[in-house]
Chain A
Amino acid sequence: MSLGRRRYFVTFVALCGLGVTWGVMVAFDWVSKLGIVTFVPWAALMAFDLGALGGLCSAAAAATLYLVTANAQNVVLDNVQIGVRLGSMIVLGLGAGLAGDRLRSSERAQRGVAALQSALIDSTLDGICLTDEHGEILISNKPLRYLARELGMPQEGSVPERLIAIADRLAEPERYRARMRDLSRTTGEASLDEFELRGSGRVFRGYTAPVQDPDGSFVGRVWTLREVTADRELDRMRDAFVATVSHELRTPLTSISGFLEMMQEEEQALGESGKRYLDVIRRSTERLHALVEDLLLIAQIEAKRVELDLLPVDVVDLATSAVEGQRPAADEKGVTVEIVADHPPIVRADRTRLTQVLDNLVSNAVKFTNEGGTVRVHIAGKGDAVELVITDTGIGIPPDEQGQLFSRFFRASTATQHAIPGTGLGLSISRALVEQHGGTISVESAVGEGTQVTISIPATP
């Protein structure tokens, strides 16, 4: 029943009660015996229901009715008695009316906030729900119910159960199942996952985190779900664009390098300055070529098209050739390069990709170290894995930039201030390749003191 209709109903009941009571009192001549007390509950009920002003009026009416009836039945009252009865009835009516108003306004306020909150969470793009400690849904919003239907989730059960139920409709059901099992075990952590519906190419992103009340006690978990198909499509377009441009760059690069090669054969005819110019062109062409290759590799990594050709690899061999490859540049700069190997185990790895990583890291170390500095490569076994630590005494990386080091195209301010050339792709490529081998990479650095990069490659990925 709505608030308005309930109010009229209560007032009607109170009026009827008042009428019946009055009738009984008149019929049995009980006015003197029971007095105004019999009117009190009805008047109070009516006052509570009608509010302050209505309560005042109804109390006054009930009191007047009583006085008129008492007068008609020859009940003698003195002025003080009349005053006290009339006054207490009015005070009672006003009080009950005010109490009613107060209760209704707080009720209205609560309903208002709840309505606003549910309207708010219903209006967002993300599906949102809150679950209790067992994963049962406490609150959910409209977009969540819509997305759950789109994904074909069952209407019953806990959220982890409903999520597991759709595994077979997804592109990578096994990986997804394992992820969901992890998720239901680790309740204390936040987690962000993406999954793709098989066939349709629609991609969804789910987030979950524990929810705490202001005292810090566990209330439940929040789950949000959003369709990110358009975002992924944009990523794909960007990667395809980068790949196309990079491939197309090979055409002019071929002309430049080819004719450069021809010119170098006729170098004798060029004279001193001509040779110097040619040298600059050659170096720049090599950099351009390296950049194109890096861009293509990044595009391949992003598209998950890099496949590892796993064979037994001696990391010391690869590190030694990486160091020897950088030795001419190091000698020219006056940087000492040393390698210390501590009988590490043989690992299963992709020789070409791992070479790329080591070349990258050693050339970085040499590049960012000034004259008189040292670059040290230390290789040792650590359990089943091989750990490589590349330490330099170079310019270092400011602490607030270290988090971004592995982002594509990111270059530390110390590198740009010293005008040290680079593309900001090396570490991002290295991390992707190391992680594809099931390994880890980390950086520690202090400005002006040096940088230490540690990579760990497991015996088998």
Chain B
Amino acid sequence: MSPRILIAECDADIRELLEMTVRRLGYVPVDATDDSEVDAVLLEPACESGRSALRRFGDDAPPVVCLSIYPREHGLEPATSVAYLLKPATSAQIARALGRIFAVQPAH
């Protein structure tokens, strides 16, 4: 079964873009309102509702790929973050970051 990616992003256009991107990469995008199981999170750390979506996991948070308007030095990166990308990132960069989490590159 394809890994499920939570899209924690405030901007509706970018949310739609990221959903399309992860779907093309072979993952299943999950909306922040959906409280089912997820395998990884694509997070905009500057987005308040994104961060609160992450909080519901408590200590058992899945790996996070940050995709932010702010550089890493702003200190918004959560503890479980495994990659930090600066917007605008290409779909290839997102693919690489997610691919590292699931060890194998999913089918394009």
Interface residues of A (CB under 8 A from B): 247-248, 250-251, 253-259, 261-262, 289, 305
Q: Which of B65-95 contact A (CB under 8 A)?
A: 69-70, 73, 86-91
**Cβ-closest 9 pairs across A and B:** A250-B69, A254-B88, A258-B17, A257-B88, A250-B87, A254-B87, A255-B13, A247-B69, A253-B88
- Supply 25 A–B pairs (Cβ within 8 Å), ascending by A: A247-B70, A248-B69, A250-B86, A250-B87, A251-B69, A251-B87, A254-B11, A254-B17, A254-B69, A254-B87, A254-B88, A254-B89, A255-B13, A255-B14, A255-B17, A256-B88, A257-B88, A258-B18, A258-B21, A258-B88, A258-B91, A259-B17, A261-B90, A261-B91, A289-B88
Complex Cα gap A257–B94 (Å): 13
Name A250's contact: one of B20, B21, B88, B90 (CB within 8 Å): B88
User: What's the Cα separation between A258 and B21 when bound, in Å?
Assistant: 9
* Count of chain B residues with a beta carbon within 8 Å of a chain A beta carbon: 16
Taking a contact as CB atoms under 8 Å apart, the answer to whether A257 and B90 are in contact is yes
Report the minimum CB–CB distance from A84 to chain B (whole Å). 103
Q: How far is the CB of A248 from chain B (nearest CB, A)?
A: 7
Interchain nearest-CB distance for B54 vs A (Å): 19
What is the 8 Å Cβ interface bit string for chain B, positions 10-27, against chain A (1 contact, 0 not)? 010110011011000000
Bound CA span A105–B89, Å: 83
A317 to B18, CA, bound (A): 37
CB distance from B90 to the nearest CB of A (A): 7
For A289, give the chain B residue with the smallest CB separation.
B88
Q: Are A251 and B90 in contact (CB under 8 A)?
A: no
CA A250 – CA B88 in complex, angstroms? 6
Whole-angstrom distance between the alpha carbons of A289 and B20 in the complex?
A: 22
Given contacts A248-B69, A251-B87, contact A262 B20 (CB under 8 A): yes
Cα-based distance from A305 to B71 in the complex (angstroms): 12
Query: Which A-chain residue is minimally distant from B11 (CB atoms)?
Result: A251
Residue of A nearest to B15 (CB): A255
Q: Which B residue sits closest to A253, measured CB to CB?
A: B88
B20-62 contacts to A, CB under 8 A, are 20-21
A261 to B21, alpha carbons, bound, how many Å?
10
Most buried by A among B11, B17, B69, B88: B88
Which residue in chain B gives the minimum CB-CB distance to A246? B69
Q: Report the bound CA distance from A247 to B47 in whole Å.
A: 13
